[in-house]
Structure 1
């Protein structure tokens, strides 16, 4: 963002980075483009190069390669800190950085729990905020590679990840999409059910780059027991009754009644991801569907399979980016 003054780790001697909270667990920072969004990082201190351009310095820290970046998107519960902390051991071992954004609830009124999952709403342009956060990280932490990211998310985070891939495939090196309750298909329906009107949502010239998606490694991960309807039938009957009452009584926030996040969920997540995998195959997209045995809607149990998917992708990225 033009005119935004900041500093870089290139200005800080390596021995002071930890004391300045510039490596290790990074305290939540406010997004410069949207102060309602914040983010945290984990940067393995032993693997971080504060200034990759300083190639003639005798300090061995300046000879370290840039760190690949995993972006882990939270679900509806917004457990961003856990999204960071669960990956610390992996980050230390594999020499990667971890970014966990925190998107607010309520940005589009009282039912704004899911706004960030849709990428672009009246109150929040979550994918633009993430792109700006990546730019900001690249300027503050030049030792982190931000042009191509490893994107992962579970539940609501899986929804965000899938839709971000559609609109910004060029920025995604590999992606793990975990157990989303709703998905967007590559058909002519309107967003977020389909991609038929992405130009009207994201701007003139926006298109879904199928060819880039086809060459992006994609994991779909879900539990074998994660096939129940979120909230149950009684909950969705209540939601529909509430929408009807609000529409009839002239709610002061009529857009909330049409909120896509309030549309009835009719399919369990296992069936939903299976259907998405099959539709991908019809478009020539090879996505791996990993089903975790004896797992319901539990992100922590999916983590080993997610990391098993990411590890070789990170290795390949590191090898090809330095070849």
Structure 2
């Protein structure tokens, strides 16, 4: 293998490699589109080519603090043999001050779901690993991304945790996108694969005290307003319950957690997310997992 563009995965990795490419890494521009970037946590165990390493993607909210999301998963990643990928989807990418493009998965010609898949392919090459599936968590705006990504790409996920989205896309074929899925094929060129969704462990999480509505109530003059934009509920907990119900009507099992005394802070719900991922990983790997290197 040509090692000119890959990270050394051996005990002889250079000091520079260890500083920038392992543990909490530096921030890298995405090769295919440098407007976007990502950072990683890469556990020491990846240096062993026989080790089983899974991938978890954690997606920031509107404040774009992607390194903070990575940092909150670093200890979990080290103890559970996971790489953590935390992408950066900046605001104002098209020069129009839009802060919501990634939440909708599309912005002009940009497809944020494909950007994420391309980032994964990039790090697969770099670390000489293959991740056919990954765990996905997003909070707030990232929760919207996770909601919609899991509808479009269930076959790429070994688990998904949808955290406190301000708006939800219900699995509802009577409503148009983005409130429902009736015309999803015209927007994304693919249909919803409900059977594949039934195979994905899905977790939804929100704080019980996450009830402010000033940022999530769609107004008629809003950029993403459409009829039915507020029908899923007034608050984030109400909207997440509506999303859960829409999944369950199609035979999809969902674990919904409302965290006591938690507000709209990712730190307050991440322990529940990590407990969920730990359970899925234990089931996925079994007592004697085979190497996925």
- Same fold by TM (over 0.5)? yes
RMSD (Å) for aligned C-alpha atoms: 2.3
Assess, with a 3 A threshold, how the Cα gap between structure 1 residues 260 and 115 changes in structure 2: closer, same or farther: farther
Confirm or deny: 8 A CA contact 1:72 1:100 kept in the other structure: yes
Match of 1:68? 54
TM-score (norm 2): 0.89
Q: Deviations over 1:249-303 (max 9, x none)?
A: xxxxxxxx64459x97561001001111112211111101101000111110101
Mark the structure with the bigger radius of gyration.
Answer: 1
CA distance in 1, matches of 2:248, 2:15: 47
- The offset of 1:231, in angstroms, is 3.5
CA distance in 2, matches of 1:173, 1:147: 9
- The offset of 1:82, in angstroms, is 0.4
Match of 2:83? 97
2:124 counterpart (105, 126, 138): 138
2:256 counterpart (277, 289, 294): 289
Pairing 1:7–2:5 present: yes
- The offset of 1:199, in angstroms, is 1.8
Larger mean CA deviation between 12-21 and 206-215 belongs to 12-21
Find runs of 4+ consecutive structure 1 residues off by over 4 angstroms: 263-266
- The offset of 1:232, in angstroms, is 8.1
Confirm or deny: 8 A CA contact 2:52 2:290 kept in the other structure: no
Report the count of equivalent residues.
282
Unpaired stretches in structure 1, ≥5 consecutive residues: 50-60, 244-256
Pairing 1:322–2:255 present: no
Match of 2:150? 165
Confirm or deny: 8 A CA contact 1:108 1:123 kept in the other structure: no
Specify which structure has the higher proportion of helix: 1
Assess, with a 3 A threshold, how the Cα gap between structure 1 residues 195 and 95 changes in structure 2: closer, same or farther: same
Match of 1:219? 203
What is the SS of the residue equivalent to 2:161?
A: strand
Match of 1:305? 272
Match of 1:179? 164
TM-score (norm 1): 0.81
Q: Which runs of structure 2 are paired with 1:1-323 in the superposition (5 Å)?
A: 7-10=5-8, 13-20=10-17, 21-45=20-44, 47-49=45-47, 61-62=48-49, 64-143=50-129, 145-188=130-173, 189-203=175-189, 206-231=190-215, 240=220, 243=221, 258-260=223-225, 267-319=234-286, 322=290
Assess, with a 3 A threshold, how the Cα gap between structure 1 residues 315 and 92 changes in structure 2: closer, same or farther: same
